[in-house]
Amino acid sequence: MDKNILNGKKHIHFIGIGGSGMYPLAQILHNKGYYLTGSDNNETETLQAVRDMGIPVMIGQRAENIEGADLIVHTAAIMADNPELIAAKASGVPVLERSDLLGIITSWYKNAICISGTHGKTTTTSMATQILYEAGIDLSAYIGGKLDCIHGSGVAGKSDIMTCESCEFVDHFLKLDPDIAVVLNVDEDHLDYFKNLENIIKSFHQFCLNANKAVIVNGDDANSMKAVEGVEGKEIITFGTSEKNDYYAKNIRQVNGLETHYDAYHKGEKLGEVVLHVAGVHNVLNSLAAIVSVMYVGVSFADAVKGIADFRGAKRRFEKFGVVNNITVCDDYAHHPTELAATLTAAKSMGFKNVWAVFQPFTFSRTYLLLDDFAKALSIADKVVLTDIMGSREKNTYNIFTRNLAEKIDGAIYFKQDETVEQTDERKYKNFDDVRDYVAEHAQPGDLVITLGCGDAYKISKSLLKVLEEKQKKEL
C-alpha cells in the first residue's frame, strides 16, 4: 500500500460513513483539514454526529454520490454489487478499504500504541486515550466505541502519540504500523475466517513482529505468550495478576458495586493503588495494559492513575442507562462467550437480586461454532432472554436459530421466529418489542437487566426504561 496516497488529496468520500470503523477515521481526517463527504443506508445517531461536523451525508448508496472525490474509502461490509462501490472502482479514482486507510494513518505517528486482543480492545484503548488526554497530551485516537472526553471515537492531535484499537477480523490489524503492540488476550473467534486457534495465534504473532519498538503482552494468557514466541529485536513487557510478570496487580477488591481497587507492582516494587470505576477482573487487566502502554510513552504512574480514576467506561461497555423502580438497566457490547462470562460474572458480584441477560447473538457462524460456549456463559445469569440472531454480513448457511441456543440454557426465553423467512439484515430481527415487554413484566425491584451483543440490542434497554417509567406512573 502506497503510504503517500493521501498526498495532494482534497476531497475524500466515505461509502458507509456511519460505520463504527469509519466514523473515527472521518473525525481524524476532518480534523486534519480534508474535505469529506459520505453516504449510508440508514439514519443513525452517528450519522447525525457526522453531519454536526459539517460533513455532507447522502442516504442511499448511488453512483452519483462519488462525484468530485479524488479518494474513496469503503468498509469491508460493502458488497461487491453495491452501485456506489462499482462506480468508485470504475472511476479511476484511488479506492481504499477502511483498514488500509487506518494503516496509513498509524504510519504517521512515532508512538502508535496499537491495542489488540480478542476481548477488551475498545475498553483498553479508551482507558489509554483518557489517561493521555488528561495528562495534557495532544494525541490522536481511533476507538471502536465513543469516549466522552474526546467527544466521539476519533481525534487528530499534533503530538507523535496515537492510540489505535486494532482488530484481528480478517487480519485487518496486520495492515497497521504499530510502534507499541499490545496483546490483551488471544481466544477463538472469527473461526469462519481463521478456521482454528493455531491460525489466530499465527496472526497475532505477525502483529507482534510488526511492532517497531515494543510488545506489551498478557503474561498470564498462554495463547498470548505463544504469539510472542520468537519475536526479537523489540522490548517484550508482560502484565497480569501473577508475580512472574513485569507489571502485575495484587489485592484486587470490589468496592461499592461498580468500583474496583487494586495495587499495581513493577518487578516486586509497589507503584501504588489503582481505583477503577468499572467492574470485573477483566477490567483490572485492561487497565493495567493501558497504564503500562502510556508509561512506555512517557506518562508517569501518578498521572496514569489519575486519568484512569476518571474513566467511567466507553459507550456500550457495561454502560448504565438508568434505574426505574429499583430495576437497574445497563448495556454491554459483549458478543463472544468469554466476554459474556466476564461481564455476567462481574454483574453477579454486585449484589443484585437477579441478573437478567438479554442477548442478541451476532453472526450465524459464531453462534453455530461456539454454541455450547455461549450456553455455558449465558447460564451464569439468573434469567436469560434471547432475540433473533443478527446475521450481519452472513447468510444462514449453518441452519442455526435462536431456539438452538435457548434449548441449551435452563429457563431461557425466546420468541419463536418464522424460520422459513431468510434471516437477513433487511428483515431487521425485530422481535425486540416482545423481548422488552416480557422483561418489563417480569423484572423485579433489585434486579439488574443488561442487554448484550454488538448489534443493536442496546435499543431494547432504551425502550425498556420508557416502558418501566410508564408502568411506574400507572402504579402510583
Condensed to tens digits (0 to 9), the pLDDT of residues 313-347 reads 665 667 888 889 999 999 988 888 988 988 898 88
CB-facing half-sphere around the CA of 144: CA atoms within 13 A: 20
User: How far apart, in whole angstroms, are the C-alpha atoms of residue 147 and residue 49?
Assistant: 13
- If the chain, 476 residues long, is cut into consecutive pieces of 10 residues, what is the mean pLDDT of each piece? 87 93 92 94 87 95 96 89 94 95 96 95 95 96 89 90 94 96 92 90 98 98 98 97 98 81 97 91 94 98 96 73 89 86 85 92 89 94 92 83 93 76 46 89 94 88 89 77
DSSP single-letter state for residue 52: H
Q: In the numeric block, which cell numbers belong to residue 387?
A: 432475540
pLDDT at 44: 82
Which residue shows C-alpha cell 468500583? 259
Measured in residues, the chain has a length of 476
- Which of 131, 101, 88 is CA-nearest to residue 19? 101
Element of type H or E holding 240: strand 235-240
CA distances from 29 to 32, 37, 307, 313 (A): 5, 11, 26, 25
Condensed to tens digits (0 to 9), the pLDDT of residues 17-46 reads 998 889 999 999 998 999 999 999 888 888
Element of type H or E holding 17: none
Task: Decide: 252 and 271 in contact? Cβ < 8 Å.
Answer: no
CA distances from 184 to 72, 152, 154, 271, 316 (A): 33, 23, 21, 21, 19
- Which of 290, 39, 274, 285 is CA-nearest to residue 147? 290
